[in-house]
Amino acid sequence: MKYRAIIFDLDGVICHTDKYHYQAWKAVADKLGIYFDEAINNRLRGVSRMESFEIILERYEGTMSEEEKVRYAAEKNEIYKELLKNMTPGDLSPEVKDTLDALRLAGAKLAIGSSSKNARFILERLGLDGYFDAISDGNNITNSKPDPEVFVKAASFVGEKPEDCLVVEDAKAGLEAAIAGKMDCAAIGDAVKCGLADYNLETFADLKKVAE
């Protein structure tokens, strides 16, 4: 194996929670009369909850106190968590699970590196609780992607050096974080177009070719 550990972003890589983030933010944006669409939603990939709200508020006409911001973000999270309850192990694609199993069998340690504070809940919904060797998420970081902290911690949780890790990301902020952390990175989905990655994946299963 070319890499001793593979660190996966969660939202948009292992599963597709993007639509739930969108619906939940849309409910809050509508309430505040703020224009919000899928293109703006794409800018929220990899970005923390409060930073995401700041991006949405770029189109807000009024002013909002920090206290109100925290309250609306909490409201979004409640809506989001209700939507996440729709997820079941059936939402984990066989391609993703088979690829993860194959990488593990080939000797790679598998970790999560996600900005989300809901990462463990999502993994549980997918039937992946206890599956990964380590989880680094929004609860153990001070600085969100593009800061490398979440990936640096994931590498240290699995006891590997950054240069021995590969990061898999669907967000530009996530690729920037991997690069800042001196890790190789593979882009999938929306992140491919920014051209920052060492590898561009057409499918998740392509990872087997990249990492072997």
- Binding residues for ligand BG6, per CB under 6 A? 10-12, 21, 44-49, 52, 77, 114-118, 138
Segment 117-121 long-range contacts (CB within 8 Å, at least 24 positions apart): 117/49, 117/77, 118/77, 118/80, 118/81, 118/84, 119/10, 121/81, 121/84
> Cβ of residue 170: shortest distance to Mg ion, in angstroms?
4
The one-letter code for the residue type at 211 is A
> Cβ of residue 17: shortest distance to Mg ion, in angstroms?
9
Rounded to a whole number of angstroms, the distance between the first and last alpha carbons of the chain is 5
> Cβ of residue 82: shortest distance to ligand BG6, in angstroms?
13
Whether 164 sits among the annotated catalytic residues: the reply is no
Tell me if 11 is assigned to a ligand binding site.
yes
The one-letter code for the residue type at 181 is G
Is 181 near Mg ion (CB under 5 A)?
no
- Residue 60 CB neighbours (<10 A): 15
Whether 91 sits among the annotated catalytic residues: the reply is no
Q: Taking contact as CB under 5 A, which single stretch among the options 3-11, 100-108, 130-138, 182-190 is the one that binds Mg ion?
A: 3-11
Tell me if 156 is assigned to a ligand binding site.
no
Sheet with strand 134-136: strands edge to edge: 134-136, 109-113, 5-8, 165-169, 184-188, 199-201
Tell me if 19 is assigned to a ligand binding site.
no
User: Binding site membership for Mg(2+): which residues?
Assistant: 9, 11, 169-170
Catalytic (active-site) positions = 9, 11
Binding region for Mg ion (CB under 5 A): 9, 11-12, 170-171
